[in-house]
Amino acid sequence: MQNAERFGDLKRAFAAVTRDRGWWWKVLLGGYLLFFPLTFLVPLGFTMEVLRRAKNDPANFILPSFAFRHWWRYAQEGAAKLVIAFGTLIVPVLLWCAFSWAVAMVVRFPGAEDWSFFFSTLLPFAGPAMLFFTLPFCAVGCCRYLDTGRISVVFNYPLALRIYRAGFADFSLGAIFLIGMNTIGQTWLVFLPCFIFFGLCLVDNWFAPIYNEAARKARAPQ
């Protein structure tokens, strides 16, 4: 895919997400629900529905409804997305940070012996480097789940890696964009949840067609 096409996909995804007249209040609601322990599964499931719609019918995409009657289904799909994220994003990031900590201890990096070093230095700096790889890998896992309806297929890592490699350049651009958006959002802490939620909706809309093309190249069953 040429660079013009890649940025055209971003423009298309942005237009698709903001096509809904009520997109801004959905972003506000989803963003703040995401940071409440009792409701965070609901917006996660909402983004799974975003991914499903962008994957199955990108030309007619519109943001899902946030009506209360859908919340139970969103919570169920949010739980599935959390399980997928645990195996494809959260654990790899934590393992990478633990490995980086071990290296820092071996080379006697100043302050590495203190527990606070993990949270003050490794997670903010080593974590985003790993997110570059794990964000697209998590998206591939979610798409595999939508293809089959089974969580188990998500952890077929050899197949997921083949799909990721087939769309590496496009997936990477999306990951950089989302990491950058979250970094900008951290300067506006009041709106950080909304930045994160909007970024998830945008990137899911962006990743879905990339996955479809990459899966065809990797000859993955869909």
Q: What is the pLDDT of residues 108-149, one digit of tens each?
A: 777 767 767 666 766 667 777 888 899 999 999 999 999 999
113 part of a folded domain: no
Q: Is a pLDDT exceeding 60 seen at residue 24?
A: yes
- Asked if 48 contacts 206 with a C-beta cutoff of 8 angstroms, the reply is no
Higher pLDDT, 34 or 187: 34
pLDDT of residue 99 exceeding 60, the answer is: yes
Residue 152 lies in a domain: yes
Q: What is the residue range of 175's domain?
A: 3-89+128-217
101 domain residue, yes or no: no
Give domain status of residue 163, yes or no: yes
Confidence grade of residue 222 (pLDDT, cut at 50, 70, 90): low
Asked if residue 119 is part of any domain, the answer here is: no
* CA 5 from centroid of its chain's CA atoms: 21
pTM of the predicted structure, to 2 decimals: 0.86
Question: Does residue 222 lie in a domain region?
Answer: no
Please, is 38 exposed, middle or buried when counting C-beta atoms within 10 Å of its C-beta (0-12, 13-18, 19+)?
exposed
Query: How many distinct structural domains can be found in the chain?
Result: 1
